[in-house]
Amino acid sequence: MATPARSLLSSVRGAGDPASDTGWEDHPPRVGFFTDTSICIGCKACEVSCKEWNGVPDDGYSFTGMSFDNSVGLGADTWRHVSFVEQRGPDAGGVRWLMSSDVCKHCTDAACLDVCPTGALVRTELGTVVVQPDVCNGCGYCVPACPFGVIDQRRGDGRVWKCTLCYDRLEVGAEPACAKACPTDSIQFGPLEELRVRADRRVAELHDAGVADARLYGRDPGDGVGGAGAFFLLLDAPEVYGLPPDPVATTRDLASMWRRAALAAGGLLAGIVVLGMGGSR
């Protein structure tokens, strides 16, 4: 759904081709992840391979008691995170397991990138969103801007960190470490257009097989972030996995916000001038 407010930002917002919109010419096709959680077995190979390849520091050796999940959520030191949901089934004693490997969504309309004041966050030629650690000054603005709660500041380092979609591996033609390590192909990497076709086919397959709750999350280019570069097949409502049900890149409303702020500033100026003109006492 293209809102009028969004079209005001159309110089940076286009038809789902963020690399072209940011000025890349003759760029390769946009790539991303399709994470099919219906075949995730919760092995955490993605978490481990991500940490190993990217040299990500430990995220605390804590025992949470949240099922098999001890890395808790995405953050500066966790760029792939496997969630474990245990649900009581309708029939007595039945337990349903939901497992899902979460990751940065590499949004088409990326709020983190929009609000970054230094230009440390950039759009790559592959349509992904990457932090340049040599530029980031740790202002922290991207942290509350991200509607998925992905990016965060690293303690003791001060800068923000997140998934790079293994930019260094992509440059030499290798696939991201997590997708490479995934034993069931729950994590699939490839050109986004191909992944979307594959995902549509898979969800139709599941519906035919009677899995009525199967749904795609982040697949729709008309959603609040213009479609995600990393999208998911889920088996329950997004919030069950810790995902926001209707995420929005709030820069969608920015033109309206600037207008209101300008009016308010004008009102303040006019008000003080008028009130300042009266008597002395």
Partner 1 sequence: MTDALSRSYYGRPVLKRPTWAALDIAGYLFLGGLAGASSTLAGVASARGRDRLAAPLRVGAAGAIGMSLVALVHDLGRPARFVNMLRVLKPTSPMSVGSWLLAGYAPLAFTAAGAALTGDRVPALRRLARFAGAGAGLIGPAVASYTAVLVADTAVPAWHEGYRELPVVFVGSAASAAGGLGLLSAPLDEVGPARRVGIVGGLVELVASRVMRRRMGIAAEAYEQGRVGVLVRLSERLILTGAVAALVGRRSRPVSALAGGSLLAGSACLRFGVFHAGVRSAEDPRYVVDSQRERAERERARWERRMSAGTQGTQEG
- Residues of span 107-146 touching partner 1 by CB under 8 A: 111, 114-120, 135-141, 143-146
Closest CA to 31 of 97, 125, 119: 125
Closest CA to 108 of 234, 210, 223: 223
Rg (CA), the chain: 21
Shortest distance, position 40 Cβ to partner 1, whole Å? 15
Does 7 contact partner 1 by CB under 8 A? no
Sign of dihedral through CA atoms 156, 159, 165, 170? negative
Count the Cβ atoms, other than its own, within 10 Å of residue 16. 18
Shortest distance, position 201 Cβ to partner 1, whole Å? 27
Does 41 contact partner 1 by CB under 8 A? no
C-alpha to C-alpha distance for 257 and 223, rounded to whole angstroms? 20
- Interaction residues for partner 1, span 74-93 (CB under 8 A): 75, 83, 85
- Interaction residues for partner 1, span 172-211 (CB under 8 A): none
Shortest distance, position 194 Cβ to partner 1, whole Å? 30
The tokens 């991303």 sit on which residue? 32
Does 60 contact partner 1 by CB under 8 A? no
What's the CA dihedral at 184, 186, 191, 196 to 10 degrees? Answer: 130
Nearer to partner 1, 55 or 278 (CB): 278
Site string for partner 1, 152-171 (x = CB under 8 A): xx---xxxx-----------
Q: Using the rule CB under 8 A, which residue among 40, 99, 150, 177 binds partner 1?
A: 150
User: Of the listed pieces 29-37, 49-57, 205-213, 259-267, which binds partner 1 according to CB under 8 A?
Assistant: 259-267
Nearer to partner 1, 138 or 221 (CB): 138
Structure tokens at 222: 């008309």
Shortest distance, position 186 Cβ to partner 1, whole Å? 18
- Interaction residues for partner 1, span 233-252 (CB under 8 A): 237, 239-248, 250-251
Shortest distance, position 154 Cβ to partner 1, whole Å? 8
Shortest distance, position 139 Cβ to partner 1, whole Å? 6
Shortest distance, position 83 Cβ to partner 1, whole Å? 6
Give the contacts of 257 (CB within 8 A, at least 6 positions apart).
Answer: none
Q: Using the rule CB under 8 A, which residue among 26, 93, 95, 281 binds partner 1?
A: 281
Phi, psi of 83 (to 5 degrees): -95, 145
Give the contacts of 92 (CB within 8 A, at least 6 positions apart).
Answer: none
Count the Cβ atoms, other than its own, within 10 Å of residue 80. 30
Shortest distance, position 235 Cβ to partner 1, whole Å? 14
Q: Using the rule CB under 8 A, which residue among 14, 149, 191, 221 binds partner 1?
A: 149
End-to-end CA distance of the chain: 56
H or E, element range at 269? helix 254-276
DSSP 134: T
Nearer to partner 1, 82 or 195 (CB): 82
